[in-house]
Structure 1
Amino acid sequence: MNKLYKQFVQFSGALLMLALVVAGCKKTFDEPPYKNGDPDLAVTATIAELQALYKGDPVLITNDMVLAGVVIGDDRSGNLFKQIVIQDKTAGINIQLDASNINAKYPIGRKVFIKAKGLTLGAYGGLLELGYGVNDSKQPVRVPQALIDSFLVGGSANNVVTPVELALDQLNGKYQNMLVKIKKAQVVIADTSKTFGDPTKGQAYVSIGIQDTTIGGLVIRTSSYANFAGTKVPKGNGELTGIYTIFNSDNQLVIRDVNDVAKMTGDRNAVVAPPSTNIELKTSPLLFNFDGIDTLLPMGVTVRSGATASSLGNDTSYKKTRVKWADVGLGFKNFASGTDFTMDENTQNNATNRAIGVRQTGSMESGVSFVFEIKNTTGKKNLKMNFKLQSLDITSTRTTTWAVEYATGDNPTSFKPGTATGIMTTGNKTAVSNNISVDFGNGLDNISDKVYIRIISLGATTGTGNRPSSAIDDVQFTWN
């Protein structure tokens, strides 16, 4: 019996040693060697190069792409839920992870390497995200907890990312998921009595309006489950830091904790008053060539989303930074006018002839419109409109159908069609500038109220693939 027992102990010990050796080999196989705190993984792409893969529909990463970035946002405060945001020198990306207390392993300042093969690049409300497949709404799904270590490898700690300093009117899609700083920020007067979130949890999120000395727009969006949800917002002026995000065409900032607003203690600044919202018909013809949209849209011109047959829709942000025709980011944009479709990206960027345009996505497809708000047509008749409708991205396979409509009064709920002549579609692999003529008959003769005229896509795009980059230019009104 003693001999058998001794043999059993020896055999069990051998099995234990074998298990330890196998486990040790497996760890060595799974985890690359480290050097100066970072794993020995060759980075094959920048985050900007990853973003460039997105053309409006989810993209499954099928090659051995390796990215690296520093965590700029984690779940420690509760304002980010089951996600981290990383940034390299070119861009930032949101990574959806189905785990809690992610900050214990991937805190702000830690470098993270992403083995992206098998992940999906998609968007929620236009904000780019990495996930593990998509749901029925084509939004990225969180990476299952058991698979996180297959895709993420932690690196060195305590790295510092310097925020990009911007004014509100400089915010645009290329800064999404990046750490930014607004130097002269202050909470709008109407929101200075609020807290960042709703401590009662009656609202899941609270949006706080922010202004600076420009006409740009921004809200701080905070989860009511954040540990600082009950903290009152600052009433002063100063530096505001956070992660810039977008939702459709709205500019949003996610703060990590109250340290991001700690410098908003100075005297409040006077805010630039918005321009007049009315177009006055003084001398016929009246031309809008949009060549000055690097700074502002022309007086009385707005861009809107969510418009319907009975509603003007939402006054929407315009991103004034010049972009290429093939730019797939959601929203209203500053494009080169389609005068020469052989222009390369650099020529487009330097072109002085500009056009106001829009790129639709699944989250902002129908109801996008270019709106002209006219003070009145008192003493005027036979109003007509001419413009160029431009399809700018020849790679776009979907088709958008446009219409011209008009209404009167401060808050119109009924729109009538103008009689438009010309090709009223964009996309379908075309790069073209079509001349459109619109006759309103006597429908707008001698109107003492406001007159709204809009160029609108009321329905969804048709077809599959990329949605168009659509633009308007050289809008001209004539009357007697």
Structure 2
Amino acid sequence: MKTDDYEVPQSQLPENVSTEGTKISLRAVKNSYNEETGEIYTFSGDQYFEAYVISSDRAGNFYNELILQDHPENPEAGIQILIDENALYQRYNFGRKVFVKLNGLSISKNNGLIQLGKQNRGDLDPIVSSEIDEHLIRSEIVEEIIPLQINIGDFSSDLLSTYVQLNHIQFNRNLFSPSNSTFAAEVFDQYDGLRQIEEC
């Protein structure tokens, strides 16, 4: 049966892909960033971590970035990786297990989110296309990502860049007025459209 749905081709890589080095947790990676100094930290050596893709740029919701979390269910940590490449969903689809080699990558914080990228004169730049394969190894495994069920009161910085489902919420009542015709793409929106939600 023909279909127009895009299917990511299965990799021929076995699960025991070559990931020489020392495996560390994603939480340990994030803890390498010094909150007190705010300085960019660059990794050296042969360390790597495993994670699962929880973002997709197919619909334009993400741009030049992958969001990864450490487990397909009940995640303990998540992180944003800056990548100078479009259509990342074609290789790194939602639920795809990946291995991230840290040597030469740097970690920093921007708008409250911990990020990995390449240090450039005190800034954090995306990984360029020619270096993606040096740092990102794509496994053949695609897991079902189970959203973590939370309420508004459960929010904490530990949940940033993880896949969650907010329960018992609604849009703020003030949004329901003749002057607000949509919940997105209003004339006053800039790059992002911010909408207030509340517990119900």
Question: What TM-score, normalized to structure 1?
Answer: 0.35
3-state SS, counterpart of residue 162 of structure 1: coil
Q: Which residue of 2 aligns with 1:186?
A: 170
Mapped to 2, the partners of 1:107 and 1:194 lie a distance apart of: 33
1:257-296 Cα offsets, whole Å, 9 max, x none, are xxxxxxxxxxxx4xxxxxxxxxxxxxxxxxxxxxxxxxxx
Q: Which residue of 2 aligns with 1:209?
A: 196
Q: Which residue of 2 aligns with 1:142?
A: 126
Tell me, yes or no, if the aligned pair for 1:66 and 1:116 is still in contact at 8 Å: yes
Tell me, yes or no, if the aligned pair for 2:13 and 2:140 is still in contact at 8 Å: no
1:195–1:154 Cα change, 3 Å: farther
Give the alignment partner of residue 160 of structure 1, picking from 125, 144, 150: 144
Give the alignment partner of residue 75 of structure 1, picking from 57, 63, 70: 57
Q: Does 1:87 align with 2:65?
A: no
1:38–1:70 Cα change, 3 Å: farther
Which AA in structure 1 matches 2:161? N
Mapped to 1, the partners of 2:118 and 2:184 lie a distance apart of: 30
3-state SS, counterpart of residue 48 of structure 1: helix
1:223-264 Cα offsets, whole Å, 9 max, x none, are xxxxxxxxxxxxxxxxxxxxxxxxxxxxxxxxxxxxxxxxxx
Q: Does 1:39 align with 2:20?
A: no
Q: Which residue of 2 aligns with 1:50?
A: 29
Tell me, yes or no, if the aligned pair for 2:107 and 2:117 is still in contact at 8 Å: yes
Tell me, yes or no, if the aligned pair for 2:106 and 2:119 is still in contact at 8 Å: yes
1:194–1:181 Cα change, 3 Å: farther
Tell me, yes or no, if the aligned pair for 2:80 and 2:115 is still in contact at 8 Å: yes
Could you tell me how far 1:163 is from its partner in structure 2?
Answer: 1.7
3-state SS, counterpart of residue 174 of structure 1: helix
Q: Which residue of 2 aligns with 1:103?
A: 89
Q: Which residue of 1 aligns with 2:5?
A: none
Q: Which residue of 2 aligns with 1:66?
A: 48
Mapped to 2, the partners of 1:196 and 1:158 lie a distance apart of: 32
Q: Which residue of 1 aligns with 2:117?
A: 131
1:82–1:190 Cα change, 3 Å: same
Mapped to 2, the partners of 1:142 and 1:189 lie a distance apart of: 39
Mapped to 2, the partners of 1:79 and 1:187 lie a distance apart of: 20
Higher strand share: 1
Mapped to 2, the partners of 1:202 and 1:169 lie a distance apart of: 27
Mapped to 2, the partners of 1:155 and 1:196 lie a distance apart of: 37
Could you tell me how far 1:124 is from its partner in structure 2?
Answer: 0.6
Mapped to 1, the partners of 2:174 and 2:16 lie a distance apart of: 47
Could you tell me how far 1:191 is from its partner in structure 2?
Answer: 2.4
Give the alignment partner of residue 102 of structure 2, picking from 104, 107, 116: 116
Mapped to 2, the partners of 1:196 and 1:74 lie a distance apart of: 21
Could you tell me how far 1:204 is from its partner in structure 2?
Answer: 1.5
Unaligned runs of 5+ in 1: 1-32, 213-268, 270-480
3-state SS, counterpart of residue 133 of structure 2: helix
1:188–1:114 Cα change, 3 Å: same
Equivalent pairs counted in the alignment come to 178
1:128–1:204 Cα change, 3 Å: same
Which AA in structure 2 matches 1:51? K
1:80–1:39 Cα change, 3 Å: same
Give the alignment partner of residue 198 of structure 1, picking from 179, 182, 185: 185
3-state SS, counterpart of residue 137 of structure 2: strand
Which AA in structure 2 matches 1:41? T
1:159–1:184 Cα change, 3 Å: same
Which AA in structure 2 matches 1:94? Q
1:161–1:134 Cα change, 3 Å: farther
Mapped to 1, the partners of 2:163 and 2:193 lie a distance apart of: 20
Could you tell me how far 1:195 is from its partner in structure 2?
Answer: 3.4
Tell me, yes or no, if the aligned pair for 1:198 and 1:204 is still in contact at 8 Å: no
**1:328-347 aligned within 5 A:** none
Could you tell me how far 1:202 is from its partner in structure 2?
Answer: 5.9
1:200–1:38 Cα change, 3 Å: farther
3-state SS, counterpart of residue 150 of structure 1: helix
Unaligned runs of 5+ in 2: 1-11
Mapped to 2, the partners of 1:131 and 1:84 lie a distance apart of: 11
Tell me, yes or no, if the aligned pair for 1:74 and 1:83 is still in contact at 8 Å: no
Which AA in structure 1 matches 2:150? L
**1:37-436 aligned within 5 A:** 37=15, 39-41=17-19, 44-55=23-34, 56-89=38-71, 90-134=76-120, 136=122, 138=123, 140-192=124-176, 193-198=180-185, 203-212=190-199, 269=200
Could you tell me how far 1:57 is from its partner in structure 2?
Answer: 1.6
1:201–1:54 Cα change, 3 Å: same
1:98–1:199 Cα change, 3 Å: farther
